[in-house]
Amino acid sequence: MAVHRPATGRRRMSSATSQRAAEEIDAVERRRFLADVLEGLSRPPKSLPAKYFYDERGLSLFKSISETPEYYLTRSEMSIMQGSAGEIAATIGPGCLLIEYGSGAPDKAALLLASLERPAGHISIDISKEHLDDAVASLEKAHPELEIVGLRADFTSAFQLPQLHTAAQRRVIYFAGSTIGNFEPSAASALLRGMQRHLRSGDGLLIGIDLKKEIDRLERAYNDTQGLTEAFNRNILVRINRQLGADFDPGSFEHRAFYSHQHDRIEMHLVSRRQQTVHVGGSKIHFLRGESIHTESCYKYDLAEFAAWAAKLGFALEKVWTDSAKNFGVVFLTLDSGALTSDLDAPPRDETE
Ligand code: AVJ
């Protein structure tokens, strides 16, 4: 984990692109990636962690998906932020330190920062150096007056927040994009508990969630007619080939995405079109014809159920904003005074490590 902070106010604009090819993945990340891939593929049912979709190609495919007529999520969330940023900012209040989980779409955070009263700064947390550099650069451009810090970390594990120059009156974690939907219920609970380590009572969580709706619309959002979601899904195999030296034939896996009523989620799978053996990091992975790799779950929520679940974890519902079609919800929760763990008393870590 390392904190990226420009030495002076201005950041050198060339570094992100020139280092991209060389630094795509380091040895530590590669080992972790390989271990996760082998773990997922070694047991039935096979699965892969959805967080590995987002290499450069994956991120660009996701951006294209979000522009398709079928994929309403990003547009709906953006329309909420555009229409209600002022109200959201007023609810959050002055002097807020915004802590963003993930940095794939800094435009929403930029909107919010523009509406907040005297924000204390912004921290972007991302596992990917490229995404982080890009997000920090774009936020700095939009808000040159603000302290913007990129923290390279996996927010599903423990991490320490860097100290900023301006003291915050309130900390708010911003978790956009219905990324929470990619987590199984138990992992989502663990994530919210982990967030509490960085919050004091009264601090906030602003979270975007995709709402339950007609199955047909949900399924179409994950089966766009241009085949972008299919390419996005298969790209995880392309990435495994490139970064882990595997020999997947991505074309021999079929994209499948459907709604599971049992779990209230869209499931994405890659289904093997034939019986085959794939080599990954010295291991042989056998596939039967029709055997699937579960690559992603995208949970869909009911607002009342979501609030009840968050309340059990110590987060009280303050306010909800939705778009006119009620596609998507942006939910503001505050940490109850009764809520448990906080490590704010822990000694500050070296910021430039
Ligand atoms: C970026 C996690 C919100 O779950 O809808 C898009 C990813 N997967 N199409 C989602 C995704 C397939 C997306 N999130």
> Tell me, what's the pLDDT at 342?
45
What's the CA gap between 152 and 346, in Å, rounded? 20
Q: Token pair of 205, please?
A: 């969580």
Q: Which atom of ligand 1 is nearest to the CA of 74?
A: 3
> Tell me, what's the pLDDT at 4?
57
Residue identifier of the C-alpha nearest atom 13 of ligand 1 = 179
Radius of gyration from C-alpha coordinates of the chain: 20
Residue identifier of the C-alpha nearest atom 10 of ligand 1 = 298
Q: Are residues 196 and 339 in contact, defined by beta-carbon separation less than 8 angstroms?
A: yes
Q: Which atom of ligand 1 is nearest to the CA of 266?
A: 4
Cis peptide before 45 (omega within 30 of 0): yes
**Helix (H, G, I), strand (E, B), or coil: what is residue 9?**
coil
> Tell me, what's the pLDDT at 340?
55
Contact residues of ligand 1, CB 6 A cut-off: 62, 65, 73, 177-179, 181-182, 222, 229, 232, 296, 298
Q: Ligand 1 centre and the CA of 323: distance in Å?
A: 18
Q: Which atom of ligand 1 is nearest to the CA of 104?
A: 1
For the chain, what are the domain ranges?
19-68+215-299
Q: Ligand 1 centre and the CA of 298: distance in Å?
A: 7
Regions of the chain with pLDDT less than 70: 1-23, 338-353
Which candidate, 205, 210, 211, 209, places its Cα nearest to that of 100? 205
**pLDDT tens across 97-122, in order?**
999 999 877 899 999 999 999 999 99
